[in-house]
Structure 1
Amino acid sequence: MPSTSTSTSGNTRRPLHRIMTAATDNWFSRGYLLVFAAALTWFGVDTLFVYHPDASFAGVWPMFLTLPTSLLLLIWSGLPGWALVIGLVPAALVNATLLGLFVRVMGPAGHRRPGPQLGRGH
């Protein structure tokens, strides 16, 4: 007797896979994530290993790079610093995904999915 149950894990993994593909399948998104990772690494090294007699602005750059998504993290007023830093990673992934989707829409016509061309009289 054949099994009639369907797996829902395939249905839930597919949208996540499509989102992550949009965040990493082009050079603009990859470059953005690389710059963000470099800024976050610089912040970590500066915080842990470099002595400063006054404040350092190393922590500002990862926040700037994830704007406007990182503004959502500032809604919580009592958020500890480590949670803010961890929250920047999903903010960067959201921005990379939006950048990837923008690149897909604005990319050359040869890379677009086939479909009806609006405005062309064939």
Structure 2
Amino acid sequence: MTDSIRRLHPLLRGLTNVFAVGYFAGCLLLLGWAFSVSSGDRPDASLAGVWPVLATLPVRVIVLVAVHLLDVGQVAIVLGVCVGALANAIVIGATVEALRGDSGRAGPAA
């Protein structure tokens, strides 16, 4: 294996964590809810799109700036929320893996 694949593997292993998968699923559910509410003729429907954006901060801001340059409309919202949720889920999974510790790894001698 190359060095880049070895570095990527622990990050992808974090996506198998229940907290990371739950966060990612929650963000996708928020996105679906926002689109279903926004499709109606309700006066407050325009604020529904704020919640998926807030749930995927801070990565969403970086993606927002990058995708805003393309000016692709609603595709930018969906793409930004999905990329932001995936990046945050990787961070959550890696953090949980680091806090949990690897029981197979030998620690310092006592």
Same fold (TM over 0.5): yes
Q: Distance in 2 between matches of 1:106 and 1:13?
A: 22
Which runs of structure 2 are paired with 1:1-122 in the superposition (5 Å)?
18-23=10-15, 25-48=16-39, 50-53=40-43, 55-76=45-66, 77-78=68-69, 79-82=71-74, 83-107=76-100, 109=101, 111-117=102-108, 122=110
Output the TM-score relative to the length of structure 1. Answer: 0.69
Q: CA distance change for structure 1 residues 33 and 14 in 2, over 3 Å: closer, same or farther?
A: same
Q: Distance in 2 between matches of 1:41 and 1:17?
A: 30
Q: Percent identity?
A: 30
Q: Distance in 2 between matches of 1:35 and 1:92?
A: 9
Does structure 1 retain, via aligned residues, the 8 Å contact 2:17–2:93? yes
Output the TM-score relative to the length of structure 2. Answer: 0.76
Q: CA distance change for structure 1 residues 33 and 54 in 2, over 3 Å: closer, same or farther?
A: closer
Runs (5+) with no aligned partner, structure 1: 1-9
Q: Distance in 1 between matches of 2:10 and 2:29?
A: 25
Runs (5+) with no aligned partner, structure 2: none
User: For the aligned residues, what is the CA RMSD?
Assistant: 2.6
Structure number with greater Rg is 1
Query: How many corresponding residue pairs?
Result: 106
